[in-house]
Amino acid sequence: DAKTTQPPSMDCAEGRAANLPCNHSTISGNEYVYWYRQIHSQGPQYIIHGLKNNETNEMASLIITEDRKSSTLILPHATLRDTAVYYCIVRVDNNAGNMLTFGGGTRLMVKP
């Protein structure tokens, strides 16, 4: 699976959009971009994933650049409960198993 690079930490004001970048310049054509987050003392929580097109669900939006070398997770109206470590993961979706390679992630602090 391709390696990802994320800033170690970011701050965001409550109510504003949080834009979390992820670089995955060595991504292959059949690799998906996944985002998980981990709130303190809990297990990681799936947020969203995508291959080429932008994706949106009830939690967030995922914007993938046309060359697929980077992506941005957008939390449209961040709340204090969104304070967490956000992990960007690139992996092939096949029947080879559920081994996720977590990097260091981005620690997002949402401030009042």
Partner 1 sequence: KAGVTQTPRYLIKTRGQQVTLSCSPISGHRSVSWYQQTPGQGLQFLFEYFSETQRNKGNFPGRFSGRQFSNSRSEMNVSTLELGDSALYLCASSFASGIEKLFFGSGTQLSVL
List residues binding partner 1 (CB under 8 A). Answer: 34, 36, 41-46, 49, 87, 93-105
Distances 92 to 6, 34, 49, 101 between C-alpha atoms, Å: 19, 10, 12, 11
Query: Which amino acid is it at 111?
Result: K
Pick between residue 43 and residue 112 the one whose CB is nearest to partner 1. Answer: 43
Residues 91/101, Cβ–Cβ less than 8 Å: yes
41 vs 66, beta carbon nearer partner 1: 41
Provide, rounded to whole angstroms, the least separation between the CB of residue 81 and partner 1: 16
Least gap, CB of 74 to partner 1 (angstroms): 19
Q: How far is the CB of 112 from partner 1 (least distance, A)?
A: 27
Of 45 and 65, which CB lies nearer to partner 1 in the complex structure? 45
- Give the burial class of 74: count Cβ atoms within 10 A of its Cβ; 0-12 exposed, 13-18 middle, 19 or more buried: middle
